[in-house]
A and B are shown apart, each in its own frame.
Chain A
Amino acid sequence: MKIKKIENRLSFFFLTLAITILNIHNLSILGIIIGSILSIFFIFFMEKLNIYKYKVIKIFLMFLTFFFMTIYLNKITYFIGDNILRNYSLISISLTIIIFTYYLANKGYHTIVKVIMLASYFIIFIFLIGFLFLFPYLNLSNLNINIFTSNNLFKESFYYAIFIVYSYFLIYPLSNTKFQIRDLVINSSYQILSFLSIFSVLGLTLESLYKYSYIVIFKKVSLIGFIERIEIIFSLNYLFIFFFLLVLSFYQIKYNLQYFIKKDKNQSIILIIITILIFCTNLLFT
């Protein structure tokens, strides 16, 4: 079966969203805009040179993905431990995630994007509801010049461009589809919108104080004293997105590994990588 364009677009959308949310404290709106423009140049430059065909790039990408996975697995484990399973051990959480990741990534790219497509109905519905609920809490006086720019604008933009290029490598070369600028425009617009809503609800001071400001905003929601404490639903929403980031990252390693190790021994090597991942994240960072 052929992979639909919308499936790739949605996967790219969730990937960039997950990376932005996980790095929210290091970004500003102008940083996102400049970073998006930078990433367009990077991506077109790389597509022109067709750098993905080089083995060196594949090896570099594998190591980069491995590095990102260790960081993100740790962040996601803490996210679940702090917001969803508060009394659960962190090692069990990361073990569960990594096993699910391994399982889904081994099913292949087609299955992954189909799962993302299915989950997207739930995720998009919850996001729309979220914006609707947050509407009474938006306070435009909280938006000041500091949220639009920052002192490290160049650094921020460069980081954001790297995140986008990284997301690009997890989707487009693997599915043999061409990158389109409008995909990125939609993503960046949505991210700017979510940035604005977070800052306008919390303000710059509170946003910088909270580790999970994107969840804290939903703690404020209370409609007619009946619909409240809905942040757990939004935590689940983010959990899905973070999970897709790990699955696609893992698939990237698996996919590139096939170029170097032809035999089925790949499976065991990947398992070793997973074990290293779990130990790295839990022993080094926890």
Chain B
Amino acid sequence: MKKYLILILLFLVTGCSSYIELNDLVIINAIGLAKQNNNYHLYISYVDEINKDTIEPTTTVKEMEGNSLNQIIDDLSLILSKKIYMSHLDLLVINDSIKTKELENIINYFLNNNETREDFLVINTDNIKDILEQTKFKEINDLIENNQRETSKTIYTTMYDVIENYYQKENIYLPYLTYNNSLTLKGLKVFSKNKYSLIEEDEVIYINYLLNKINSYKYSYECADDKFLYLNILGANVNELSKELLITNEIKVITNDCKLKQKEIEQIFNKNLKDNLEKITKKKLTIKNTIRGTYEN
């Protein structure tokens, strides 16, 4: 009896039946999505072959059109005669034509697809094709990652964030990039109430305050003619209470040409922060700072 059982198990646990050759996979690394005339326009960037000179994989961008995401991806599989493999998806590029209904379809597609991972970057642009064809994912990723870390002028948004904000009916913030011979970060696109609006780079800092995502940024103030106060905000912590925002900044004074006192520096910085934050929140603001560096006592 045991012998038969072992024999059956041997056949069952070989794993050969689900084996797929690497060459039979279409490894998708980026997707661009737009909607035109009630049809999805999908730009799929997939790993094609290894460049013999640079020993780096080259990518090919294919343009497809269809009624639904599932249908387009099935069509792609038929055209290329290969199995679609999305586990290495790094980037999703969308434009302003992607609204609530389309977002819901995208989210459903990724939630129902166990192969994909939702930690990929999501960006907004008007030049989907150019960005996918002319740039590399690393370039885009570094641009957004470094900007968030050093300037707090953008937000690194992953699919997890999009899904979470969509279901919580909160604003969805997407980094807005343009491509005109070179890649440029132009601020944030906010998706709210079924429409997109643009937030300029400098204003993104204050959005980051509200989201408690401030890493570091620089602040400059012209205190007299050709004399400046430069501050490096090393970090900020925001505690959100029911009717109040408690903000604690860690500030380093870099240049203090006007020889301002600590209290004056704080007043200037706090006033600017309050003025800008009051435009986007109705909550009472309490700002505390820890200042170090060169200032006059």
Please determine whether A209 and B163 come into contact, CB atoms closer than 8 angstroms: yes
Query: Contacts A87-B20, A88-B18 known; A219 to B119 CB distance under 8 Å?
Result: yes
**A206 touching B160 in the complex, CB below 8 Å, given contacts A85-B18, A87-B20, A219-B119:** yes
Give 4 closest A-B pairs by Cβ, nearest first.
Answer: A87-B18, A96-B12, A82-B114, A219-B117
Whether a CB of chain B sits under 8 angstroms from the CB of A92 is yes
Q: Which residues of the other chain, A, contact B17 by a CB distance below 8 angstroms?
A: 87-89, 92
- Give a binary string over A76-98; 1 marks a CB under 8 Å from any B CB, 0 the rest: 00000011011111001001100
Interface size on B, residues (CB 8 A): 23
Q: How many CB-defined contacts (below 8 Å) exist between A and B?
A: 53
Q: Indicate if A220 sits at the interface (CB-CB under 8 A).
A: yes
Q: How far is the CB of B117 from chain A (nearest CB, A)?
A: 5
Q: Are B114 and A100 in contact (CB under 8 A)?
A: no
Contact between B9 and A99 (Cβ–Cβ < 8 Å)?
A: yes
For B117, the chain A residues whose CB sits under 8 A away are 219, 229
Q: Which residues of A approach B to under 8 Å, CB–CB?
A: 82-83, 85-89, 92, 95-96, 99-100, 102-103, 141, 202-203, 205-206, 209-210, 212, 216, 219-220, 222, 229
Closest to B239 in A: A141
User: Which of chain B's residues 12-49 have a Cβ closer than 8 Å to chain A?
Assistant: 12-13, 15, 17-18, 20
| Bound complex: CA A172 to CA B111 (Å) | 41
Residues on B lying within 8 angstroms of A by beta carbon are 2, 5, 8-9, 12-13, 15, 17-18, 20, 87, 111, 114-115, 117-119, 160, 163-164, 167-168, 212
Contacts of B163 in A (CB 8 A): 205-206, 209
Given the complex of chains A and B, what is the CA–CA distance between A73 and B114 in angstroms?
20
Nearest-neighbor residue (CB-CB) of B19 within chain A: A87
Looking at the complex, which one of B9, B18, B212 makes contact with A86 (CB distance below 8 Å)? B18
CB neighbours of A203 from chain B (8 A): 164
Nearest A residue to B119 via CB reads: A220
Q: With A86-B114, A203-B164, A205-B167 in contact, do A95 and B12 touch (Cβ < 8 Å)?
A: yes
Q: How far is the CB of A83 from chain B (nearest CB, A)?
A: 7
Q: Identify the closest chain B residue to A92 (Cβ).
A: B12
- In Å, the complex CA distance between A209 and B111 comes to 8
CB-CB nearest in chain A for B17: A88
A205–B20 contact, CB under 8 A?
Answer: no
